[in-house]
Structures are given as structure tokens and as C-alpha cells.
Amino acid sequence: MTALEKNQPAEEPFEDARQTLLAIVGHMIPASTEFGLPGADDPAIYADILRSVGRDKPLLSKALDAVEAWAGGRLATLPRDQQAALLAEFRSAEPELAGVLEAVTARCYYRDDRVMAAIGVEGRPPFPLGYEVEEGDWSLLDPVRARGPIYRAVGEGGQRS
């Protein structure tokens, strides 16, 4: 946990719409037994989402209001398959607002230790260990060298030389 995470209280900014957001993230990234993955509605991940909305707070509120309006009331109280159908329609009608929902969800889901382990990424920050990257085979550049200069030569007075 970094300073940024520690300093942010587990605020609950969307008291009214929390159930809506919970339903949305669960539809977006559901748990998977096949891949051994939690859903984005897993309590720890969802708490992280609520805590980490940050600068997206105004747009997220707008997105949640729009989903509620789209659902004609409370999304979370509707049957699950109806929720999924409504959200699919919402996503294609309001791609920008859907994008905000996706961003706040993915930012926390894809840093959870269980998820990172399942997708084969070490659960650590990049620094200080860094990563290995193949140097590559420099002889691949032989044909590029063989072709010779490709820049436009400029002579005195701006003429082609």
C-alpha cells in the first residue's frame, strides 16, 4: 500500500448509488471459477474502488445517475438478466460514461494480488527491481544500412544537393 492509498479514507462518496455501482462492477468483471478469479464486486476490491475514485468522482456520479435513469429506477433491484441487458444498452448508448465506470473499476481490479497472480504479473511495483527486456538482434538492421541515406540533403541556399 502506498502513501496515496494510506492517506485516503475509505470514503463512501455515492451513498445513494453504492448498490448501483456494486451491481455494475459485478456485471462488468464477474468472478470466474474457470480462471480462479474474484469478481470486481469482491468486498476487498469493491472497497478499493470506492476509496480510489479520486478525480473521477464528478463524472462517476454523473454516470451512476445516468444508469439509474436508464434503468428507470433502481438497477440493483431488477432481476440479474434484466440488469445485464440494460447495462449492455447503456454501454453502447453512452460510451463515454461507460468508459468512466470501466476506468474506476479496472484501476483497482487489476492491482489486486489474487488477480495479478492469476494473470501472471508479479504483485509488486515496477521499482526497484525493474524488468528484463531482450536486447534484440542488431543484425536485423543490415538491410536498412545497406539502403544508404534516406534524408533529403540540403545544399547552400536550401537547394537539394
Partner 1 sequence: MNETVDVLIIGAGASGAAVAWSLAETKMRILCLEQGDWQKPSGYPSSGRDWEARLSEDFAISPNRRRLAADYPINDDDSPIKIANFNGVGGGTILYAGHYPRLHPSDFKVRSLDGIAEDWPIDYATLEPFYALNDRMMGISSLLGDPAYPPKEAVMPPIPMGRTGQTLGKAMNRLGWHWWPSDAAIVTREYEGRAPCINLGQCGSGCAQGAKGSTDVTYWPEAIRARIELRSRCRVSRIETNEAGMATGAYYFDADGKEIFQPAEIVIMACNGIGTPRILLNSASDRFPNGLANSSGLVGKNLMLHPYAQIRGHFDQPMDGHRGSPICTWSHEFYETDRSRGFVRGYCYQFSRGTGPVRAAINGMADGLIPWGEGHHAAFRRLFGHSAGMVSVCEDLPEETNRVTLDPDLKDADGIPAPKITYRLSDNSRKMLDHSVARGIEILKAAGAHHITTKAPLPYAGWHLMGTARMGADPERSVVNEWGRSHDVKNLFIVDGSVFVTSGGVNPTSTIQAVALYIADQIKSRLYELFD
Is residue 51 helix, strand or coil?
Answer: helix
DSSP 154: B
DSSP 32: B
Query: Cα–Cα distance between 148 and 139 in angstroms, integer?
Result: 15
Q: State the virtual CA torsion across 86, 84, 20, 55 in degrees, nearest 10.
A: -90
Give the nearest distance from C-beta 4 to partner 1 in angstroms.
6
Give the nearest distance from C-beta 143 to partner 1 in angstroms.
5
Element (H, E) at 111: none
**CB–CB of 78/4 below 8 Å?**
no
Stretch that binds partner 1, among 13-21, 61-69, 71-79, 88-96 (CB under 8 A): 88-96
Nearer to partner 1, 75 or 108 (CB): 108
Is residue 29 part of the contact set for partner 1 (CB under 8 A)?
Answer: yes
Binding-site ranges for partner 1 (CB under 8 A): 1-5, 27-30, 32, 34-35, 37, 52, 54-56, 84, 87-88, 91, 95, 99, 102-103, 106-111, 115-116, 119-121, 123-138, 140-141, 143-145, 147-154, 157-160
